[in-house]
A and B are shown apart, each in its own frame.
Chain A
Amino acid sequence: MISAATSAQSVRAGEVTATELVERALADIAARDGSYNAFTEVTASRARAEAASVDAAIAAGRDPGPLAGVPYAVKNLFDLEGITTLAGSVIEKDRAPAARDAFLVRQLQAAGAVCLGALNMDEYAYGFTTENSHYGPSRNPHDTARMTGGSSGGSAAAVAAGLVPLSLGSDTNGSIRVPASLCGIFGLKPTYGRLSRAGSYLFAGSFDHLGPFARDVRDLALVYDVLQGVDAEDHAQQWRPIEPASPILEAGVAGLRIAVAGGHFACNGHKEAFGAVEVVARALNVTAKIEIPHAATGRAAAFLITMAEGGNLHMPDLRMRPDDFDPMTRDRFLAGALLPAHWLMQAQRVRAAYRAAALKVFDEVDVVITPAAPYVAPLIGQQMVEVDGEEIPVRPNLGIFTQPISCIGLPALAVPLADPSAAGAPGGLPIGVQLIGAPWNEQALFRVAAVLERAGVVGSPADR
């Protein structure tokens, strides 16, 4: 797979046309996506028109943008003009097509990128596996019998399989970071309020983040820089200046205080999750340990608030057509619609208290390293897993390390080990770690990721 940065350079230099890139990508998707089930819709006409527009700009001597001709695709909760936004459901099929693109799609189009389609996900983003009963499971490119993770599973599979170099996903409780780890790619959940969510189908709005996937740090920075921008339509967006990552990728980690998180983040998973943290810490010469206080409590608060917000959001359809929901999500939404108000309000107050305690960590460190997922990709359909000597449900536990972080909106970058076997990953399946920063300090995460990539420690492991 040619990187986004290289593709854009080639298009801008006139070595290849955007149209040629798009035709290659469309043919590749037609030939190979049957194995991964990443795409739910391929927008070939749109892609050809966007590519022609890029080629016309170049022919006319205009700047086609930093992502000129770069193919990408989006989780199918992003609005794409003229297409009904499914959000992984059949219920939404009845709705009108989107009147215009989501804000982040407009940002990508303005940068010259070319949208190839919409990607598979858990219904309404309520899941960590993308075992969608309506559209079928997305399949892990490293072993198609295994889960991609979710809920942005199609977004991760499409990039890991090399069908597109970039994709967009959403992350409410870990839905970018978990599939990034399971599929062996990079995924960024920026600070809550950094990127506009306008034109995306929300799940639990007070936790919903959008972000990109890529196969290397340079591409991730390139797309992240393009996605930033002020949008008055997202009430949760904080209107900050653009703080690009691309210019600081060579900055190194000198002056950054980095530590490994213990406590909640040192149990609840398999040896490869902690082995991956050790590999990364060793490469950075990091020996410091810290505790993120009340992390397990934060996870519990996120669990309750997510249930309640999701249940409330879908109440009209839960009342009228519950059997049209995916059985994987329906009972959770129904239960969420019935939670006692006290539980929800207690969770919201605890969330604020947990945030206050957790933010003190960043008085002492700049970047915290934790596992991203508790184990490598489980088999599709797997129900239970043994953790710390106990059989537990495999699906909800996938978010054990990501949920406490999105609960309080901290930026987090999932980076894949280049050699998962170095962490003891069974079968050499991908495994990643989570780099966590203070609010608005995505740049520190990119600096660490870039150093690790240059050292050969992190990187997208070759597809098997």
Chain B
Amino acid sequence: MEHEFDAEAYAKAAAAAAGLPLDPRHLPGVALNLRLAARMAEIVEAMPITPADEAAPVYVVAREVPK
């Protein structure tokens, strides 16, 4: 994935979509961190999971506060 990932182009497009002004001075550092994140994403993608594997955070509707 990493070699195909144009981090600068992605950063510009995603920032525009998210309404995040991205100063060109910050772009190299942002792209560097996105490429690092892409390597982490590759590791995460490599772990076999099934549709039964739910996300870690679990919504709780209410809890009874102990006395």
Q: Is the CB of B49 within 8 A of A353?
A: yes
Contact A319 B19 (CB under 8 A): yes
**Cβ-defined partner of A350 (8 Å) among B26, B34, B47, B63:** B47
> CA of A11 to CA of B40 in the docked complex: distance in angstroms?
52
Task: Return the contact of A338 from the options B15, B36, B60 (Cβ within 8 A).
Answer: B15
Query: Are A300 and B19 CB-contacts (below 8 A) given A331-B29, A348-B55?
Result: no
Give which listed residue, A304, A349, A354, contacts B55 with CB less than 8 A: A349
Complex Cα gap A322–B26 (Å): 9
Number of interface residues of B (CB under 8 A): 36
Task: Name the residue of chain A whose CB is nearest to the CB of B41.
Answer: A343
Given contacts A319-B19, A334-B20, A335-B30, contact A348 B56 (CB under 8 A): yes
Contact A347:B44 (CB < 8 A) given known A331-B33, A338-B34, A353-B53: yes
- The yes or no answer to A355 lying at the interface (CB within 8 A) is yes
Q: Does A251 contact B (CB under 8 A)?
A: no
Per the bound structure, the CA–CA distance linking A408 and B19 in Å amounts to 33
Closest beta carbon of chain B to A232's beta carbon, Å: 5
> Could you list which residues of chain A lie within 8 angstroms of chain B, going by C-beta atoms?
206, 230, 232, 235, 239, 294, 296-297, 300-301, 303-304, 307, 315, 318-319, 322-323, 330-332, 334-340, 343, 345-355, 396
B interface residues, Cβ below 8 angstroms from A: 10-11, 14-15, 18-23, 26, 29-34, 36-37, 40-41, 43-47, 49, 53-57, 60, 63, 65-66
Subset of 24 A-B contacts with CB under 8 Å: A230-B65, A235-B60, A239-B66, A296-B43, A297-B43, A297-B47, A319-B21, A330-B26, A330-B29, A331-B30, A331-B32, A334-B15, A334-B22, A334-B26, A334-B29, A335-B11, A335-B30, A335-B31, A335-B33, A338-B10, A339-B37, A343-B41, A349-B49, A352-B56
